[in-house]
Amino acid sequence: MVKLKGMKSTLLCLIAVTGLFSLLIHFQIQWQSKLTLVNFLVYPLLIVTAIFATQFNRSRIAILCGFWLLFLVATNSPSINTKSLMLNKQWLFLYGASLLMLLALIKDRALLSVHLVSRLIFIALFGVLTFFWLQLNQNLNSLVPQTPLWKSVSPYIPITIPLGLIGILLMWRSIKNHDLTLTALLITFIVWYLNQLSIITLPWSLIALVMSALYLLAVSTDSYYLAYRDDLTGLPTRRALNQLALSLGRKYTVAMLDIDHFKKFNDTYGHDIGDEVLKLVAARMTEVRGGGKIYRYGGEEFTIVFPRKTAEQAIPVLDKLRQSIANYDMVIRSAQRTGKTSRNVKKNNNKKVNVAVSIGVAQRAPKQSFEQALKNADLALYRAKKKGRNNVSQ
């Protein structure tokens, strides 16, 4: 079954932006007097956002800022024929939406690289294609017999149907991929759609300003996750654990969890499947956590911190977790590989495996530092291994 990982974040972002725009509409009088300031601020903010996004290799956001800049310059500049721009409103509407679709389909690459050329070619191509699409639809009307069915469908073919399809695609990609850039693209599409159809009538400069702030938020949240989340398991990293240590009170319990004989496992099934096991153990841990905060300490070691809990309170939770991992039939889905990267891998498609874990627990003693408590948990883990593994030791 397809897991829709980004459902929650997409919905939250949509609710937040809907709320924000409702507020903007409600408080029109307040910001209208400051519109000159908005018109002035939007350009530097878009440029700063584009630079920031480029720094963090979020080239799609940088390109998006570029579009907004060009669009604002074109609509506000007296030297550019705004009339013809407005005459081509349908084209602009469709072109903008199709560019958002293009950005949703490509990957983030370093902006100033060879990829930029191919991207610019695609961007120009989309402009030409949307222009010809609208021309074709005009001519089609004179060529196709005017049946009642054609008459009822034809008004929707040039704009409404393509936009509907683009909207569905953006929504799907945002929900499925759990990617803030895709959510930002979806929100941009919705705002673009609503303002082009005059369903909301806010100045473009104000919309671009809000969108720019949203992009900044998306890039900085992404960068935060990059720094504090482990790529493989999605769990917070040791760096995040060190941050937590600063906020802990006097009473807490620390547990170190280590997968038993993981090296043997890696050697038998290959490193790729070892990675899959790490992911599955992490997923199991997030399900049985009992108030504990989970971190990937490094390699096949994980740390669980129970703020405000004694070891006696934490041990039953940890033992339940240990049992749940030991009794869990992990189904490893992996393509057959024979390359150098996967050592000793035979056919492992949909293979069921079982792993066990050893856990060491230590409650923080008075005047003890977090590092000392962690060290004690590590010593307890060593005892758990000595005892024969697959157990919880204090």
Ligand X SMILES: Nc1nc2c(ncn2[C@@H]2O[C@H](COP(=O)(O)OP(=O)(O)OP(=O)(O)O)[C@@H](O)[C@H]2O)c(=O)[nH]1
Residue 240 CB, nearest approach to ligand X (Å): 17
Residue 267 CB, nearest approach to ligand X (Å): 7
Nearer to ligand X, 160 or 354 (CB): 354
Nearer to ligand X, 60 or 296 (CB): 296
Residue 12 to residue 257: CA distance in whole angstroms: 33
Among the residue ranges 102-110, 155-163, 274-282, 363-371, the one whose residues contact ligand X (CB under 6 A):
274-282
Residue 42 to residue 207: CA distance in whole angstroms: 9
Tokens representing 202 are 């806010």
Which residue of 261, 320, 333, 386 would you call a contact of ligand X, by CB under 6 A?
A: 261
Nearer to ligand X, 31 or 265 (CB): 265
Which residue of 217, 275, 289, 390 would you call a contact of ligand X, by CB under 6 A?
A: 275
Secondary structure percentages of the chain, helix, strand, coil, to 5: 65, 10, 25
> Are β-strands 301-307 and 330-332 bridged in parallel, bridged antiparallel, or unpaired?
unpaired
Which residue of 5, 178, 238, 271 would you call a contact of ligand X, by CB under 6 A?
A: 271
Nearer to ligand X, 231 or 287 (CB): 231
Residue 349 CB, nearest approach to ligand X (Å): 18
**Residue 173 exposure: Cα atoms within 13 Å on the Cβ side:** 23
Nearest in space to 130 (alpha carbons), one of 83, 166, 183: 166
Which residue of 93, 193, 215, 262 would you call a contact of ligand X, by CB under 6 A?
A: 262
Tokens representing 56 are 């963090």
Tokens representing 7 are 């459902």
Residue 303 CB, nearest approach to ligand X (Å): 15
Residue 389 CB, nearest approach to ligand X (Å): 6
Nearer to ligand X, 86 or 331 (CB): 331
3-class secondary structure, 236: strand
Nearer to ligand X, 179 or 276 (CB): 276
Question: Residue 365 corresponds to which amino acid?
Answer: A
Beta bridge partners of 293: 305
Q: Is 263 in the site for ligand X (CB under 6 A)?
A: yes
- Report long-range pairs for 15-18 (Cβ below 8 Å, ≥24 apart): 17/187, 17/190, 17/191, 17/214
Residue 258 CB, nearest approach to ligand X (Å): 5
> How many helices (H) and strands (E) are present in the chain, helices listed first?
16, 7
Residues that contact ligand X, how many (by CB under 6 A) = 17
What are the residues whose beta carbons fall under 8 Å from the beta carbon of 209, sequence distance 6 or more? 38, 41, 42, 45
Residues of this chain, 17-76, that bind ligand X according to CB under 6 A:
none
Residue 235 CB, nearest approach to ligand X (Å): 12
Binding site for ligand X (CB under 6 A): 232, 258-264, 266, 271, 274-275, 278, 299-300, 385, 389
